Structure 1
Amino acid sequence: MLKVAERAQQTLESLMPNRRKAFIEQKAHIWRAFGRHLAKMSYGKCWYSESNDPQSFFDVDHFRPKKEAKRAEGVADDGYPWLAFSWENFRYSAGRSNRLNTDDATAAVLGKGSWFPLLEGSVRANWTNRCEDKESAVLLDPTNRDDVGLIEINSEDGRATPSVTCVGQAKQERAKRSIEIYGLNLGNLITARKRVMRDLQDDYLTLMEICSAGTDMAAVSRLQNKFRRATLPSAPYSRAARAKMHSLPYGPKFCAQPEDEPEALA
C-alpha cells in the first residue's frame, strides 16, 4: 500500500500542472485503502468528533485539501496536491465532519469539505514552496496533542467549547472555527454525549449508595470497571465521559489510567 502511494507520488511529480487534478481523481483508491488501518488506530472512531456511529459513512480525509483549499468565503487556491498520497495527511473522519452538510436545527452549512483557512499573516505553502510546516492553520489537527487540548466537553450540556487553557485570540479563533467546521455541536453528537454522561452519573450515584450501605462489593467492582471502560481512549465520546466524571466528587479516581488497556477490562 505504501509502495503504491509512493509510485503514484512519483508519477504526480512528473506531470504538468494541468494534468495533476485529473490524475489525483483517478487514484482515490490509494487513500481509501488506508481507511481500515486509520480506523484501527482510533478504535473505529472519527478523529474529529469521536463518533463511532455504525450507520454513518466514514472517509479518509485529507487534512490539507488535495485539490482546492478554501481560505474564506469566495477565496480558494489549488490547495496541497503534493500531499494527495501522503499518509501523514490522512485523517479518519465521519461523513458529517468531512463533507459539507446542513445542520437541521440551525440551517447552517457545516463540514470540512475543502476548507483550510490560515491565520492572518500566515505564510502559504504551494507546489514550489512546500512549507506547510510553517503555516499557521486555523483548523485544529486531531494528531496534534496541543491542538486537541484546546477543546473540551461541557459536563452539563455536552457541547464542545474552547478549553480553559485555550487562551489568546488566535487559539480562541482556532477552537471556535474548528468546532463550527467539524460540526462538533451537531444535535445528534450532543445527544450522544449527554446519554453517555447521564448513564455515568446514574451509575456513580448507585455506586455511592452501595458504598454507603457497605453491601454488594461485587457490584462496586463492576461499576468501577464500567467507569474505566467508558473513559478509555477506545470508548465512544470518552472525552464527554471524562468531563462528567471529573465534575463528580471522587469521579476522577474511577477514570481509566494510561496503563489500562481495553482487553484488560473486557
Structure 2
Amino acid sequence: MIYIARNADVIPQKILEVALRAQEELENLPIDKRKNYIKSKSHIWRGFAKYLSKMSHGKCWYSEAKDAGANFDVDHFRPKSEAKRSDGLVDEQGYAWLAFNWENFRLSAQNCNRLNRDEDSEITVGKGSWFPLLDGSKKATWDDRCTNDELPLLLDPLVKNDLDFIDFDDRGLFVKSFFCVGLQARRIRDSAVIYGLNLERMREARFAAMKEAKDLYETIQISVEDLDVQGDQASMKAIVRQIEMLKAKTRADAAFSRAVRVQLQKLGASDLFIDRNMDAA
C-alpha cells in the first residue's frame, strides 16, 4: 500500500462538474430511488479512473500492483450502496451521499476490489462492500455525515499514519512489522485479507520484485569487490549502471516499490539505492 497525495488539478473541470450535478440530483431523491439512480450513473466514477491513475503513477492504491494489461476499478472507500460491517451486520444504505464524491474514490486492482477465493486458505478475500468500523466508533449516516469521526478498520492510502508498521516477509507477504502490536496490528492483518493483498498471484509478483532487487544489490556488492582488485573505468561504469537499475526499482512509479525499499533497508542498503524524487508524499 502506498500513500497517495491527491491532486484535483489533474481532473478536468468538466468531469468534476458532471459529478457535482449528479450529487445535486441525488440529494433531492427519496430514499427508495437512490440506489437505482446511483447504479445508473456508474459511468461518472469510472470517468475518474485515468486521473486517479496519474496520482499513483499507474499503480493500484491498495496493492501497488502495476500491470498495463489489467483493468482497474474505481473503488468507493466508503461503499456507495451497502456497508458490510461484519459477517452478520450490513448497513443497507451504505454511504450513498458519497457515491459521486471523488474524494471517496480509490484506484483499485480488480483483485483487491472484487471478491475472490484464495485457493490456499479457502478464504474469500476482496473488498466488495466491506467497511467495518472499530469498536466504539461513531457511524455516519445520510442525516449525520460524520465520516471524520468514524474509526475504520481498513487502512486508507490517503492517511499517512495508516501506513506505519507495514512490512513484507521473506516470501513477499504483506504483514505487520515486528514492533506493531494491538489495534494497529489487527488493522494491518484484517486489511491484508479484505484487500486481498496476499492472494498467491499478488504475493508472487511482489516477491519477484523484491528478489530482483536483492539479487541486483548482491551483484553490485560483488562488482564493488571486483573493482577493488581491477580498478578499471569500465567496471566502474558497469557499477553505476547497476546502481541506477536498482534505484529505478524503488521509484514511486515502479510496481511494488514500497516492498523493494523495505527489502533494501533490511539488507542494510543505504539511501544511495533508494530514489525518492518521484514520491507521492
Tell me, yes or no, if structure 1 residue 226 matches structure 2 residue 239: no
SS of residue in 2 equivalent to 1:50 = coil
Tell me, yes or no, if structure 1 residue 127 matches structure 2 residue 159: no
How far residue 165 of structure 1 moved from its aligned partner, in angstroms, is 5.2
Residue matched to 2:56: 42
Percent identity (aligned)? 44
Q: Which blocks of at least 5 consecutive residues in structure 1 are unaligned? A: none
Amino acid at match of 1:84: A
Q: Which blocks of at least 5 consecutive residues in structure 2 are unaligned? A: 1-14
Residue matched to 1:188: 201
SS of residue in 2 equivalent to 1:20 = helix
Residue matched to 1:57: 71
- The 10-residue stretch of structure 1 (239-248 or 158-167) with the greater mean CA deviation from structure 2: 158-167
Alignment of 1:144-183 (within 5 A): 144-154=159-169, 156-164=170-178, 166-167=180-181, 169-183=182-196
- In 1, are the aligned partners of 2:252 and 2:278 still within 8 Å (CA)? no
Tell me, yes or no, if structure 1 residue 241 matches structure 2 residue 260: yes
SS of residue in 2 equivalent to 1:231 = coil
Residue matched to 2:131: 116
How far residue 164 of structure 1 moved from its aligned partner, in angstroms, is 4.3
Amino acid at match of 1:93: S
C-alpha distance in structure 1 between counterparts of 2:87 and 2:271, whole Å: 47
How far residue 4 of structure 1 moved from its aligned partner, in angstroms, is 0.5
How far residue 261 of structure 1 moved from its aligned partner, in angstroms, is 4.0
TM-score (norm 2): 0.88
- The 10-residue stretch of structure 1 (194-203 or 124-133) with the greater mean CA deviation from structure 2: 194-203
TM-score (norm 1): 0.93
Runs of 4+ in 1 over 6 A off after TM superposition: none
C-alpha distance in structure 1 between counterparts of 2:85 and 2:278, whole Å: 41
Tell me, yes or no, if structure 1 residue 8 matches structure 2 residue 8: no
Listed one character per residue, the Cα deviations across residues 50-103 of structure 1 (whole Å, up to 9, x for unaligned) are: 111234321000000001000011211111000000000000000010011111
C-alpha distance in structure 2 between counterparts of 1:150 and 1:99, whole Å: 26
SS of residue in 2 equivalent to 1:102 = strand
- In 2, are the aligned partners of 1:140 and 1:175 still within 8 Å (CA)? yes
How far residue 202 of structure 1 moved from its aligned partner, in angstroms, is 1.7
- In 2, are the aligned partners of 1:152 and 1:239 still within 8 Å (CA)? no
- The 10-residue stretch of structure 1 (60-69 or 46-55) with the greater mean CA deviation from structure 2: 46-55
C-alpha distance in structure 1 between counterparts of 2:35 and 2:150, whole Å: 23
Tell me, yes or no, if structure 1 residue 255 matches structure 2 residue 273: yes
How far residue 104 of structure 1 moved from its aligned partner, in angstroms, is 1.9
Total equivalences in the alignment: 258
C-alpha distance in structure 1 between counterparts of 2:223 and 2:90, whole Å: 60
SS of residue in 2 equivalent to 1:125 = coil
SS of residue in 2 equivalent to 1:166 = coil
Residue matched to 2:151: 136
Residue matched to 2:6: none
- Which structure has more relative contact order (CA 8 Å, sep 6+)? It is 2
Amino acid at match of 2:192: I
- In 1, are the aligned partners of 2:140 and 2:147 still within 8 Å (CA)? yes
C-alpha distance in structure 2 between counterparts of 1:209 and 1:172, whole Å: 38
Tell me, yes or no, if structure 1 residue 74 matches structure 2 residue 92: no
C-alpha distance in structure 1 between counterparts of 2:187 and 2:266, whole Å: 26
Residue matched to 2:10: none
C-alpha distance in structure 2 between counterparts of 1:73 and 1:51, whole Å: 28
Calculate the aligned-residue CA RMSD, in Å: 1.5
Residue matched to 2:4: none
Listed one character per residue, the Cα deviations across residues 12-44 of structure 1 (whole Å, up to 9, x for unaligned) are: 001111100011001101000000001111111
